[in-house]
Amino acid sequence: MQKKINYCKACGYCETHNGACSQNDDMAEIIDEVLKSDVIVFASPVYFYSISGQLKTLIDRLVAVYTKITDKEIYYLFTAAENGKATFERAAACIDGLCDCLSGIKIKGMIYAGGVWKKGEIDSTKYIQQAYDMGAAV
């Protein structure tokens, strides 16, 4: 599903309009889903040891409502061409930064799927089953 999410302009409109943004995009719908959910999964390919720009844009737009995002279970799913813990540390730190600002958050699981670069490569790995098992445990 494609969603249009503009970057945060730091205009302050949300501060004086109960978290509503001045931009006309799909973020209001996403925020509604985030607020009513019990579980949030942050998934991203790792580019240059960080999360994708699209996910970072979404996180930045949560600034309007981050104090209302409480008592959630959080999961991380990352893919990268390289393998190893260091490949994923900075990407995880981006999500950790958001979670550190939220109340009642529980990090419930992480999958660091290294060694997958091209489309379809993940299909023959253990990561598909790990993601399934993690989801089934929710």
CATH assignment of the domain containing 31? 3.40.50.360
Over 90: is that where the pLDDT of 85 sits? no
pTM for this one? 0.92
Specify the range with the lowest mean pLDDT, choosing from 30-34, 35-39, 80-84. 80-84
AA letter at 30: I
Structure tokens at 86: 């260091």
Domain count along the chain: 1
What pLDDT, on the 0 to 100 scale, is given for residue 79? 96
Band of pLDDT at residue 1, cut at 50, 70 and 90: low
Alpha-carbon distance values, 67 to 9, 18, 34, 102, 128 (Å)? 19, 12, 12, 6, 33
Residue 2 located in a structural domain: no
Over 90: is that where the pLDDT of 84 sits? no
Query: What's the rounded mean pLDDT across residues 6-25?
Result: 93
Query: What's the rounded mean pLDDT across residues 64-68?
Result: 95
Polymer length in residues for the chain: 138
Residue 3 located in a structural domain: no
Helix (H) or strand (E) holding 62: none
**What is the rounded distance in angstroms from the CA atom of residue 87 to the CA atom of residue 114?**
8
Residue 7 located in a structural domain: no
Residue 79 located in a structural domain: yes
Asked if 94 and 59 count as a contact pair (C-beta separation under 8 A), the reply is yes
